[in-house]
Chains A and B, each alone.
Chain A
């Protein structure tokens, strides 16, 4: 093995990946060049579909089903991976190259103990005996700051939290002391406060063992904490590669600059002094025995945006479901323009139902995949507003114009043919078709790329101004809050921790939890993580 620092550990030359029919392939990577030295961490940044995950997998000589190597080469420590037989490649995988996936929960086998899975690779590759591997795994758990490192491995995956699993998975990847680790969006599914811990633990362990890593993410603030160099990708091509500090302070390409600019979207807050459209009084709600909402009182001023922020499990979605009438509360009441709302949606009269519409996080499941765009939009317009014939067609076209999608191009498309951002727009149009007064937006941008998400946020803000909508905006992302909120409600474990105008919450938070939450938001500063830990 050649250990001289001069030879790169990983070298990709003109790598081309294709999918689909050989005659008319879809090109996933258009001749990508990438070099990684030992102990270096390279960040891969881009929107979804940019080819960053494919590039990460290709660095390990692996392609997804249906994708093939169509040119170029991948050399790992003097071995050309693209020429290797599957059997030889398997001997390298897990031992010298490891992979940490986005969802650790989905990557662990729920039927086996965590420790058995973490020690599987060293035992399989015969780099250590079972007891030796277990000792090392426990040492790794300790290094990853997992609670109770001696015992935690004896639990099953469902008994660990998402953040713990993600750290255990990093430990698993480290078990054979690989030369290269590919992290594929490892913290995207985590809450901000958990994300800090996981990021810190990952960075420490990569530094400790001097492992080279490829860190794939769409979050620029995260990558600036982890990477020595950053490569920005778009449509299977490299946009630019720079040292982290340089790319943050002085991006050369317009596309990089547009990515950077997303985080600075901010709309001036309007005073929340209008009479409340919806008012919740002492709401307590439960799923069976588990109380998820405790004495929540909040007023949502007419024509303003109220954002509810909190980590997963804080009860923010439950609050929305109670208001929508999907989960009748145990006690407390919801007032609509001063009048009590029937707790169950089935008992509300049609006009009231139409006034309250929801937009969902997953546009994939929020729209019926068997319908066309036209069917999706005509039904609520016909059903709720009694439109038909020419007025109906005109209304549908008007809705398409509102969401900035050309009707001629999209009306007869089926839902699965649309991109994520387009689906979300259709979801918004469907809600608007009922001509509601009140829109509940449940994490509407968290499944989208930053650029696309920004477009959706701008659209919602514009619609709010034009149609005088009252918005309840649920999110865990504080950048979104900063962009859209007039009033902010912070929730933790089913209770409201703090609420007030946006400026007040961001500038002078009163509660310790609010401050912790605000501090946990990654910033575009390479020193941020070291500073806050």
Chain B
């Protein structure tokens, strides 16, 4: 099936999801040109209401909310993408390695992953960030490390189904190395599962970053990010202003949108019709 016919068969929910994601990407990439003000520029008094000059008002330091929303898309989504990508690169390679090698390699890796999974992710992240110190590179590394575990488990399980097939045996019998087996024989067969998982895992990471930022140990001020924007402006809620709900809503919208796409991809990968 070509790309166009595949896209045509997408249900409306998936179209909605793709539209939201596309919009987010455009906004994130074009932030400096789209945003009316700079990311950290103080443009007026604190907590100004919505007006023509500031469509979403200003925040607790008098920065333009809309501009920060736009830059926030860049930071939150971009970092989430980077983190998820790192977790997937490491997790899927290790998972396939465990499935292909079996034996001690598998035991060692799997038990190590069990240890990581035994601690609730948020607590583990808080603990590790307390040790290494809160900074953006540290946060990305810590979250990527934590999310290697579920990716590893999935990649290993999916690869297990592939490595027992005869074509792997045939490749081994002609002396192919592990790297080639991983890249050319196993990976193409588990790619659809991994891609679907990537979408889902991206949502988790994205929420995770927002949560850490909300707690004040994620993305550090003055960098704009949707999680900390909720936290910084939370007091407005008590005055009946919905502005802090807008970054929260953006998080929710993007999460739902990605889940719509993932649902569709999982459905296609499972081979079920309509």
Contacts and interface: CB of A to CB of B under 8 A. Distances in A.
Interface string B182-217: 001100110000000000000000000000000000
A365 B174 contact: no
Interface string B163-183: 001110110111110000000
Q: Binding site of B, secondary structure by majority: helix, strand, loop or mixed? A: helix
Given A360-B166, A362-B166, A365-B165, A353 B174 contact: yes
Nearest to A434: B174
Given A345-B172, A353-B175, A366 B166 contact: yes
Interface stretch (A274-282, A367-375, A463-471): A367-375
B273 interface: yes
A370 B188 contact: yes
A360 B167 CA distance: 9
Contacts of A345: 172-173
Question: How big is chain A's contact interface, by range?
Answer: 20 to 34
A195 interface: no
A399 B174 CA distance: 17
A358 interface: yes
A209 interface: no
Q: Which of B169, B174, B189 has the largest count of A CB atoms less than 10 A from its CB?
A: B174
Contact of B273 (A66, A366, A379, A380): A66
A383 B188 contact: no
Contacts of B174: 353-354, 357, 380, 383-384, 434
Contacts of A325: 173
Contacts of B169: 326, 358
A354 B171 CA distance: 10
A356 interface: yes
Contact of B173 (A356, A368, A369, A379): A356
Contact of B189 (A326, A354, A369, A380): A369
Contacts of A370: 188-189
Contacts of B176: 383
A316 interface: no
B159 to A, nearest CB: 13
A350 interface: yes
B170 A360 contact: yes
B182 to A, nearest CB: 13
A430 interface: yes
B175 A366 contact: no
B166 to A, nearest CB: 4
A324 interface: yes
B170 A430 contact: yes
A366 B167 contact: yes
Interface of B: 165-167, 169-170, 172-176, 184-185, 188-189, 273
| In the complex, the 5 A-B pairs of residues with the closest C-beta atoms, listed nearest first | A370-B188, A366-B166, A360-B166, A365-B165, A353-B175
24 contacts: A66-B273, A326-B173, A345-B172, A345-B173, A353-B173, A356-B173, A357-B174, A358-B173, A360-B166, A362-B166, A365-B165, A365-B166, A366-B166, A366-B170, A367-B167, A368-B167, A368-B188, A368-B189, A370-B189, A371-B188, A380-B174, A383-B174, A431-B170, A434-B174
